[in-house]
Amino acid sequence: MELALLLVLIIGVYWVYQGSLSVALLAALVLILIRFSEQLANLILFSKVIELMQVALNRIHDFLAIQPLAIATPNQQPQQFDVRFEQVSFGYTKQSVTLNNINVQFKQHSLNAIVGESGSGKTSLIRLLMRYADPQQGRILIGGVDIRHIPNEQLNRLFSVVFQDVYLFDDSILNNIRLAKPTATEQEVEQVAKMANCHQFITALAQGYHTQVGEIGSQLSGGERQRISIARAILKDAPIVILDEATASLDSENQLAIQQAINRLVQHKTVIVITHRLSSISTADQILVINQGQIIEQGTHSSLLARQGAYCQMWQNQQQAKHWRI
């Protein structure tokens, strides 16, 4: 727009100089241009906004077009909470193989860990268990019931999940914890917050439990958000607990507080932990080592060390890394 104004001025002055345009007409032209330039610029800008909105809308359309996974009949509800993968193979596309012939059992009330290189398929395994997608082959059972027979709402109730990146809604701390059980009283929320080691920092805030956490919990630190998500998980009291790199990016003080909170969360639950820090899972009942979508080793910490295979190598690497100094 500014360039157009400059051009009109240059050409206009030239024409005035030549005598083919009057000064008054040039002044009127420039005035009109200035008067409408802002509106025109806004219009151009707005068309860009519409383009962006179109991209977002297309994504929403794509999302809404996804068909919900069918619930097989008869509907069933598990009474036990052990988990079994039977010959499960899965790829995100027809060509890719993300998980290949997975056979494993996670016993009820046991602590299980999944380790392996980045991209080996650990998170995908968990996603299948929570039925974000169905495997192309094989089946997954909870308490002997194929998860395809469990209605979504009931299936969701079976899991408490703590991720490394915690999502909090732009609402009060109280409501963020209460999401797990909308009928919970303030006393119940306070009780689980104490168990998750977050009561102290919450009550230190001016508004206490009614503090608004801001968009995506931006008013709180990573460790504080994590503990709130653990409080939420404790309140949910689901029989299967999934921890996906829950303590990975925290300082040692926060790690201790979170470890204590996690210890309270996992009591009497079937627990599945995904981690890169092997020292945190040395007491696990079962450790799976996954490589390129396959279970390559399986056992307890001591049995895997004795095997002198991939797990032993990973363990030795991490022990050496402990002594690194910069």
Ligand X SMILES: Nc1ncnc2c1ncn2[C@@H]1O[C@H](COP(=O)(O)OP(=O)(O)OP(=O)(O)O)[C@@H](O)[C@H]1O
Residues that bind ligand X (CB under 6 A): 92, 98, 116, 118-124
Handedness of CA 270, 248, 262, 194 (dihedral sign): negative
Task: Say how far apart CA 122 and CA 293 lie, in whole Å.
Answer: 8
Give the list of residues 6+ apart from residue 214 with CB closer than 8 angstroms, or none.
Answer: 170, 220
Query: In what order do the strands lie in the sheet containing 240-244?
Result: 159-163, 240-244, 270-274, 111-116, 286-291, 294-299
Beta bridge partners of 289: 115, 297
End-to-end CA distance of the chain: 55
Task: Say how far apart CA 17 and CA 10 lie, in whole Å.
Answer: 11
Residue 98 and residue 128 in contact, taking contact as beta carbons nearer than 8 Å: no
Q: Are strands 83-90 and 137-142 parallel, antiparallel or unpaired?
A: antiparallel
Residue 108 and residue 270 in contact, taking contact as beta carbons nearer than 8 Å: yes
CB atoms within 10 A of CB 58: 10
User: Which tokens hold the place of 162?
Assistant: 């703590």
Task: Say how far apart CA 191 and CA 200 lie, in whole Å.
Answer: 12
